Amino acid sequence: MLKDKHILLGITGGIAAYKSADLVSKLKKSGAKVDVVMTKAATEFVSPLTFQTMSQSKVHFDLFGLESYMEVEHIALAQRPDIILIAPATANTIGKIANGIADNMLTTVVMASNVSILFAPAMNTNMYLNPITQKNIKALKELGHQFMNTGEGRLACGDVGAGKMAEPAEIITYLEDYFTEKDLKGKKIVVTAGPTIEEIDPVRFITNHSSGKMGYSIASIAAKRGAEVVLISGPVDLDPPSNVKIVNIKSTEEMMEAVREHFENCDVLIKAAAPSDFKPLNYSDKKIKKRENESKSMSIELTKNPDIAAYFGKIKEHRIMVGFAAETNNIEEYAGLKMKEKNLDFIVANDITQDGAGFKGDTNIATIYDASGQIESLPLMSKDDLSSFILDKVKLILENRS
Ligand code: PMT
């Protein structure tokens, strides 16, 4: 989502400047082009060399350096970005920009640019709450500029309160949201993710390798594209995406009930979860003891769980349903059968024997089979890119129906 976006990162003089190194690294990883401009005070906290190395380009800070002056560097810098991000933004720099002062490279670039500015303030609580700072923030917001909320906690000065700079991950999420077209606005999408667990006794359970990454990625990108998203999640170790209603469940039956609750009002159901097909016929409410089992083997009788996709496929009416198939062999045959049995619009098959596909990792390799007989074999790609591809396909079906 930030691929090829040009971001000018202004770093001003606060201790939170050390966090900006992580910010640059995250921006570069997400494919953004980054120019760094530091104030003189910022260079007292972190060396420009750090940012030069991480951004792989020259760091700008000297307005009157001979080289900068000859190139009219501040004008060149002002014309490139899609957004100016100032992180950390001190009360001093916020005040200067709000009052039209351009006395260093950063504030001069800001004056010469007409793009929106995203400020990530970082300062002592009293400075942040000072009516002068608040007046400056209000004035800049009225001009269309944006502010990250500050976090609360123990600040570097020892005070406890508001004024902590937003975490780099939060800033990245904000930027991704800002640059994403809201083309799924007005659509209600239910996504299932992760494994389910079926308890044998209070200690043991049956589950599978699903980490939830595929489903969480779809939910997060759908929300960024403006959809109203309900994410029904089995037990996973992931942070819930922002702007998504999360419903935590454990068993396949609980997942079924959660889907039932949200199915009526949804436009799209995407079943990226790996629900357990079977559960123990009898749950033992006491721990099953080894010593009470004399023989070398024991068996647990299993019974079938409901097939959620198949059940809702029968009553889906106008809704779009997307399924996944995790397969090890005969992929085309099994995926095709599942698509028909579950009445899906399309199914995303992943061959979990391939490196980089299926469970746990950040990438997947998928072949998409759709109800019209079309087959699309996709190369290795990030789960985020696959999510965007799936959502583009959903959008196309929605458009063709309206
Ligand atoms: O979570 P990750 O680590 O990122 O891994 C992603 C994934 C491999 C789990 C995902 O890409 C995937 O393939 N999910 C489906 C796995 C699966 O259980 O496939 P299946 O062939 O058993 O089921 C086919 C479809 O029916 C799936 O959409 C499944 O959600 C659905 N199903 C299955 C069983 C059941 N009782 N009810 C269902 O609705």
SS (H, E, C) the chain: CCCCCEEEEEECCCHHHHHHHHHHHHHHHCCCEEEEEECHHHHHHCCHHHHHHHHCCCEECCCCCHHHHHHCHHHHHHHCCCEEEEEEECHHHHHHHHCCCCCCHHHHHHHHCCCCEEEEECCCHHHHHCHHHHHHHHHHHHCCCEECCCEEEECCCCCEEEEECCCHHHHHHHHHHHHCCCCCCCCEEEEEECECCEECCCCCEECCCCCCHHHHHHHHHHHHCCCEEEEEECCCCCCCCCCEEEEECCCHHHHHHHHHHHHCCCCEEEECCECCCEEECCCCCCCCCHHHCCCCCCCCCEEECCCHHHHHHHCCCCCEEEEEEEECCCHHHHHHHHHHHCCCCEEEEEECCCCCCCCCCCEECEEEEECCCCEEECCCEEHHHHHHHHHHHHHHHHHHHC
Ligand 1 pocket, 387 CB below 6 A? Answer: no
pLDDT in tens, the chain (402 residues): 898 999 999 999 999 999 999 999 999 999 999 999 999 999 999 999 999 998 888 899 876 665 555 455 678 788 889 999 999 999 999 999 999 999 999 999 999 999 999 999 999 999 999 999 999 999 999 999 999 999 988 777 777 888 999 999 999 999 999 999 999 999 999 999 999 999 999 999 999 999 999 999 999 999 999 999 999 999 999 999 988 999 999 999 999 999 999 999 999 999 999 999 999 999 999 999 887 777 788 899 999 999 999 999 999 999 999 999 999 999 999 999 999 999 999 999 999 999 999 999 999 999 999 999 999 999 999 999 999 999 999 999 999 988
Burial class of residue 123, CB neighbours in 10 A (0-12, 13-18, 19+): buried
For ligand 1, mutation pick of 196, 271, 382 (most atoms within 8 Å of CB): 271
The b-or-e profile of 85-113 (16+ CB within 10 A means b, else e) is: bbbbbbbbbbbbbbeeebebbbbbbbeeb
pTM: 0.84
Q: Boundaries of CATH 3.40.50.1950 in the chain?
A: 6-179
Q: How far is the CA of 358 from the centre of ligand 1 (A)?
A: 10
Ligand 1 pocket, 334 CB below 6 A? Answer: no
Annotated active-site residue in 129, 132, 157, 160: 157
Ligand 1 pocket, 305 CB below 6 A? Answer: yes
Determine the angle formed by the axes of helices 91-98 and 105-112, rounding to 10 degrees.
40
266 an active-site residue?
A: no
**What's the pLDDT score for residue 352?**
94
- Contact at 8 Å (CB) between 27 and 7? yes
- For 178-217, write each residue's pLDDT tens digit: 999 999 999 999 999 999 999 999 999 999 999 999 999 9
**What's the pLDDT score for residue 220?**
95
Q: How far is the CA of 271 from the centre of ligand 1 (A)?
A: 7
Other CB atoms within 10 A of residue 328 CB: 11
Ligand 1 pocket, 388 CB below 6 A? Answer: no
**CATH tag, 6-179:** 3.40.50.1950
Q: Boundaries of CATH 3.40.50.10300 in the chain?
A: 188-277+298-401
- Contact at 8 Å (CB) between 225 and 180? yes
Q: How far apart are CA 199 and CA 28, in angstroms?
A: 44
Q: How far is the CA of 217 from the centre of ligand 1 (A)?
A: 15
Ligand 1 pocket, 339 CB below 6 A? Answer: no
Architecture per CATH, 188-277+298-401: 3-Layer(aba) Sandwich (3.40)
Q: How far is the CA of 259 from the centre of ligand 1 (A)?
A: 15
Q: How far is the CA of 173 from the centre of ligand 1 (A)?
A: 27
**What's the pLDDT score for residue 297?**
86
Q: How far apart are CA 91 and CA 136, in angstroms?
A: 9
Residue with CA nearest ligand 1 atom 26: 309
